């Protein structure tokens, strides 16, 4: 089968891969050879799952994903499987997400879930200590992995299920589309080391130090930033972060991306920022998400 890639209607920087029902049917056989527990316990089984998915697409899927994710002009792909039929359940989506991740690289250990992936709900009420599960508060633009030692090259988010959901759209911003990129990335404060910690629920018991802005091999700016976790050491750093936060949120070039249940956003974590709009209030609101974050294979 051939992979068809189109531009997403929201932006030509975002590619869209639709997987039809008859194509999903061809994945069922290889998916049935694995269950979620064996995928969790045996890392090699995730590679064979991914290979079997790539084989269904004549080896093209891994090439297409790697090309999009590493291309500075794109860097984001939405994978939209046609899952209207109930045989494509949440286990199916977890396996598809695993396969997609292992076609480009290795997931980092997710301390929050203590697995290679994390599944979590956003509901009406929440008593947690971060913005991740606060449904009615805007989740500001950020990158992932700011407070861990591991590199986070890419991020994959799959919408597993949605009930009584209005609002809560994904918001994305490509660094090269941000009006203030040059101003902030060349500011000496942005190159200083900041201290980054995290709240208890993240299960990370250390702090790291790194700047907000880096340069890639071609000298282009990259960003590692989230509003909640940097711990400014002085007035200069505190005010820089406030101005940075305001300048990101005020950008006119943010992309608002509704995402149908079952779909995956797969993005480069160095030059794409992501966030979420608030949900409309509903006591029965429920969204389940799966995320995997990781690094690219070195050999590709």
* Residue 144 or 227 having the CB closest to Fe ion: 144
Asked if residues 287 and 122 have their Cβ atoms less than 8 Å apart, the reply is yes
* Residue 57 or 154 having the CB closest to Fe ion: 154
Q: State the binding string over 220-259 for Fe ion (x if CB under 5 A, else -).
A: ----------------------------------------
* Residue 144 or 288 having the CB closest to Fe ion: 144
Report 14-43 residues binding Fe ion (CB under 5 A): none
- In the complex, least distance from residue 223 CB atom to Fe ion, rounded to whole angstroms: 13
Asked if residues 262 and 89 have their Cβ atoms less than 8 Å apart, the reply is no
Cα radius of gyration rounded to whole Å, the chain: 19
DSSP class of 110: B
Asked if residues 139 and 276 have their Cβ atoms less than 8 Å apart, the reply is yes
Nearest-angstrom CA–CA distance, 238 and 244 = 10
* Residue 57 or 229 having the CB closest to Fe ion: 229
Total of chain residues touching Fe ion, rule CB under 5 A: 1
- In the complex, least distance from residue 155 CB atom to Fe ion, rounded to whole angstroms: 7
**Binding window for Fe ion (CB under 5 A); candidates: 69-77, 79-87, 91-99, 144-152:** 144-152
**Binding window for Fe ion (CB under 5 A); candidates: 43-51, 76-84, 141-149, 196-204:** 141-149
- In the complex, least distance from residue 63 CB atom to Fe ion, rounded to whole angstroms: 27
- In the complex, least distance from residue 142 CB atom to Fe ion, rounded to whole angstroms: 6
**Binding window for Fe ion (CB under 5 A); candidates: 95-103, 138-146, 169-177, 229-237:** 138-146
Max CA pair span of the chain: 59
Can you tell me which residue has the tokens 């979420």? 276
* Residue 82 or 169 having the CB closest to Fe ion: 169
Q: Which two tokens stand for residue 126?
A: 């929440």
- In the complex, least distance from residue 276 CB atom to Fe ion, rounded to whole angstroms: 8
Assign 37 to helix, strand or coil: helix
Nearest-angstrom CA–CA distance, 179 and 32 = 48
E strand or H helix at 165, and its extent?
A: none
110 binds Fe ion (CB under 5 A): no
Nearest-angstrom CA–CA distance, 238 and 236 = 6
Give the residue from 67, 60, 51, 63 showing the smallest Cα distance to 99.
51
Asked if residues 81 and 43 have their Cβ atoms less than 8 Å apart, the reply is no
Chain-centre distance of CA 103, in angstroms? 15
* Residue 34 or 293 having the CB closest to Fe ion: 293
* Residue 34 or 274 having the CB closest to Fe ion: 274
**Of the residues 144, 153, 162, 227, which one makes contact with Fe ion according to CB under 5 A:** 144
End-to-end CA distance of the chain: 22
Residue number of the CB closest to Fe ion reads 144
Q: Can you give the binding site for Fe ion, defined by CB under 5 A?
A: 144
């Amino acid at each position: 089968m051939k992979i068809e890639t189109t531009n997403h209607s929201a932006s030509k920087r975002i590619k869209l891969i639709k997987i039809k029902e008859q194509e999903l049917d061809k994945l069922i056989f290889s998916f049935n050879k694995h269950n979620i527990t064996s995928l969790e316990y045996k890392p090699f089984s995730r590679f064979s799952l991914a290979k079997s998915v790539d084989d269904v697409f004549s080896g093209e899927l891994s090439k297409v994903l790697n090309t999009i994710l590493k291309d500075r002009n794109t860097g984001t792909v939405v994978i939209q499987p046609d899952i209207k039929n109930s045989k494509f359940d949440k286990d199916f989506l977890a396996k598809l997400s695993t396969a997609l991740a292992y076609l480009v690289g290795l997931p980092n250990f997710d301390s929050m879930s203590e697995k290679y992936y994390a599944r979590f709900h956003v509901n009406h009420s929440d008593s947690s200590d971060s913005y991740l599960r606060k449904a009615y508060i805007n989740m500001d633009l950020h990158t992932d992995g700011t407070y861990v030692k591991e590199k986070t090259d890419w991020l994959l988010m799959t919408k597993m299920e949605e009930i009584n959901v209005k609002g809560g759209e994904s918001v994305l911003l490509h660094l090269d589309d941000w009006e203030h990129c040059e101003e902030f990335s060349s500011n000496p404060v942005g190159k200083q080391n900041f201290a980054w910690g995290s709240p208890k629920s993240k299960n990370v018991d250390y702090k790291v130090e790194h700047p907000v802005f880096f340069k890639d091999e071609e000298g282009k700016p990259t960003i590692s930033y989230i509003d909640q976790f940097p711990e400014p050491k002085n007035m200069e750093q505190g005010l820089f972060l406030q101005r940075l936060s305001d300048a990101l949120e005020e950008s006119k070039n943010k992309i608002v991306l509704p995402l149908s249940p079952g779909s995956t956003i797969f993005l480069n974590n160095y030059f794409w920022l992501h966030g979420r709009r608030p949900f409309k209030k509903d006591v029965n609101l429920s969204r389940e998400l799966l995320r995997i974050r990781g690094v690219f294979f070195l050999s590709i």
